[in-house]
Amino acid sequence: MMREESAIPLVFKVIAGFALVVLLLPLVIVVLAGLNAGDYLTFPPQGLSLRWVKSFLSSPVFLSAYFYSFLLALCATLISTVVGTLAALYLARSSSKTSGAMRGFFMLPIVLPGVVLGLALYVFFTTTDIGLARTFPGLLICHVLVTCPFVIATVTASLVGFDISLEEAARSLGASPWTAFRKITLRIIAPGISAGCIFAFIVSFGQFETTLFLAVPNHEPLPMAMYISLRYKFEPTAAAAGIFAIALVVISTIVTSRLVSLRRVFKA
Amino acid sequence: MSDIRLVNLSKTYGEGNAVSEINLKIGEGEFFSLLGPSGCGKSTTLRMIAGFIKPSAGQILIGSDDVTALPPEKRDIGIVFQNYAIFPHMNVAENIAFGLKLRKRNKNEITWRVTEALKQVGLAGYGERYQRQLSGGEQQRVALARVLVTEPRILLLDEPLSALDKGLREEMKFWIKDLQKNLGITTVYVTHDQDEALTMSDRIGVMSKSKIVQIGTPQEIYERPKTLFVTSFIGHSNMLDVTILGQDANGVTVDLNGQELKTRASSSVTPGGAAKLVLRPENVLIGAALGDGDSRLSATVLSETYQGPIVRYRLKVGEQEIVAERQNQAHVERFSPGTVVTIGWDPEWSEALVA
Ligand SMILES: Nc1ncnc2c1ncn2[C@@H]1O[C@H](COP(=O)(O)OP(=O)(O)OP(=O)(O)O)[C@@H](O)[C@H]1O
Ligand SMILES: [Mg+2]
């Protein structure tokens, strides 16, 4: 098929370009700061070196924080992808009058300030004394709450215009409900699910405010470790850690979108 | 191929009835249409047969099997939806192979059957295309091929032509009917379009407000509507206010503006009561066209509208208006407004119906 002639006005292109620069500039600064040759976190860097990258790679505190965050984000992403997809399907198909209110309720964690949510969960966990305060499961629950709305939103978007008669057609052609869901619905909403996946991972990996209240003592996730390091040392190791965080997010985004499009290629 | 029986089939939503107490037997190989205005319960009935809606009461039998409690995938039914529901992530060949794969047919057989099915619907060579590369009519054919390739016991169609433009609709009407006839597959066709129902069906069930109000062949439905609803829903009819004078074995006598007229009545009527004299415009004859034994009355031509193949007259009889449609052909007299003419009709083609 031929590409349509672009009809985007120049103004929009300029604005988009400007936004891109504003968004990308801090990233560039972090990367350059992480490659700083000097002793302190400064910009512009005093010469380039891998000094602080090496320091990050040999720091037990940063490395364990990095892998802890990775594990946490992975678990949170898996859970919220499944839960969020199911919730989105329910919300899209339920004819119940309460589903609008429920959608708003599920979206709350996005609009609530992280500090408020973190504090609320902390108070809830400690006062009820259910053994979740400052534990991994407690932190995971919090991250699932925060990331789920992103999955719900992207999957809901991909369900707009999804025609239920596709599933019904599959059923009457002999597919069980599960087969029809797997072979039809899931395939069609896959891009939405993978987008949700990426969002969830990024949001969980970078989650700071809520984590502040719920992190397990001596097991700080990366954002907290970076914060603590900067507060007490002001070393460029934190910026070097930032480089690795950015790299992980970029790689996971590419991998996830590849997985989806590869499946497309296999199907076609 | 199987027959279908609906026994006291009902569906209630909250307070309202979507379908109430439908009793119906659709014969093997029959093309049966459910015809009615929007919201009368046609789709609900069809979707209950397909298994997507659980009936509130009653039974559905296909052949000798009671399928009421079976899920859709166990009913061995083919259904074509109004929007065709072609799977967008599969090409045409994969769409058609879908049902065969679920039935675990071997690869060679699937390839062969898909090719045959595509030929059958006139889309040979379309296997590699995707839904977005097909026109509405082509999608329609793919949907039919996808269903027919699994050799279902019955075929269900829910307004399959309503998304097509007029020309294509005409073409597909005959094409679907021919296909159905050749396969001899029992078919239930839902439509609100009387032309489709009249042209395609062996029998029609006219629905109104959740009930089937009349079942009959297209001819019976068109020429012998049993209620005022069916009369007004199918085609155009004159409905004249009359008073019933009496009823005997030959029919009914009515009073129209003080003039006694004979007419048919399919149900018993009470003398003295008000009724409508129902009469299609094409059966109202004017002047020399009248034959022996026809009812005759005098009327004034109000207007004459030229419509190509027919000419339409509005006539005044007493205080009431009658519409007459005459073929516009050689040797047919034309009447200009203001003329006083004799009009009439064969009593067998008029009917007294009580509201
Ligand atoms: N899920 C539902 N909940 C409540 N009422 C419903 C539901 N589905 C259908 N109805 C009602 O049942 C009645 C019959 O609906 P149905 O879809 O069978 O009509 P239809 O004859 O197919 O009309 P159309 O020609 O517009 O498709 C309608 O009055 C509709 O409002
Ligand atoms: Mg309908």
| pLDDT at residue B143, as a whole number | 93
Q: Is the pLDDT of residue B235 over 80?
A: yes
Residue with tokens 């898909």: B114
Residues 154-183 of A with CB under 8 A from B: 163, 165-166, 168-177, 179, 183
Higher pLDDT, B197 or B332: B197
Q: Which of A210, A106, A91, A102 is nearest to A148 (CA)?
A: A106
Q: Cβ contact (<8 Å) for A171 and B81?
A: no
Average pLDDT over residues B289-312: 86
Of the candidates A165, A172, A187, the beta carbon closest to that of B77 is on A172
Distance of CA B54 to the CA centre of its chain: 25
Of the candidates A163, A175, A268, the beta carbon closest to that of B73 is on A175
Output the CA–CA distances (angstroms, integers) from residue B24 to A166, B78, B211, in the order listed: 29, 19, 11
Higher pLDDT, A140 or B248: A140
Highest mean pLDDT among A94-103, B45-54, B247-256: B45-54
From B43, B193, B196, the mutation candidate for ligand 1 (largest count of ligand atoms within 8 A of CB) is B43
A47 touches chain B (CB under 8 A): no
Token pair belonging to A202: 């990024």
pTM: 0.82
Q: Cβ contact (<8 Å) for B87 and A165?
A: no
Average pLDDT over residues B201-213: 93
Characterize the bridge pairing of strands B186-191 and B203-208.
unpaired
> Is residue B61 classed as helix, strand or coil in its secondary structure?
strand
Q: Which of B330, B354, B345, B355 is nearest to B297 (CA)?
A: B345
CATH 1.10.150.120 is right for the domain spanning A60-267: no
- Return d(Cα A72, Cα A223) in angstroms, integer: 12
Token pair belonging to A3: 């590409």
Residue with tokens 């069809």: B46
> Is residue A244 classed as helix, strand or coil in its secondary structure?
helix
Supply angle C-alpha A235, A236, A238, rounded to 5: 90
B50 touches chain A (CB under 8 A): yes
Characterize the bridge pairing of strands B320-327 and B310-317.
antiparallel
Distance from CA of A89 to the nearest CA of B (A): 18
**Residue range A157-174, pLDDT digits in tens:** 999 888 899 999 999 999
**Residue range A65-84, pLDDT digits in tens:** 999 999 999 999 999 999 99
Give residue A264's pLDDT band: very low, low, confident or very high (50, 70, 90): low
- Nearest protein Cα to ligand 1, atom 7: B13
| B57 CB neighbour count, 10 Å cutoff | 14
- Return d(Cα A182, Cα B78) in angstroms, integer: 21
Are A213 and A229 a contacting pair, CB within 8 Å? no
Q: Does the CB atom of residue B52 touch ligand 1 within 6 A?
A: no
Token pair belonging to A169: 């057609």
Q: Is the pLDDT of residue B223 over 50?
A: yes
Determine if the peptide bond prior to A44 is cis (ω within 30°). yes
| pLDDT at residue B32, as a whole number | 95
Please state the φ and ψ torsions of residue B261, each to the nearest 5 degrees.
Answer: -130, 145
Q: Cβ contact (<8 Å) for B71 and A179?
A: no
Q: Is the pLDDT of residue A268 over 50?
A: no
CA of B9 to the centre of ligand 1 (A): 15
- Torsion sign over Cα A176, A178, A181, A184: negative
Q: Which domains does chain B have, with CATH numbers?
A: 4-231 (3.40.50.300), 236-353 (2.40.50.140)
Q: Which residues of B touch A183 (CB under 8 A)?
A: 98
Of the candidates B52, B89, B91, the beta carbon closest to that of A168 is on B52
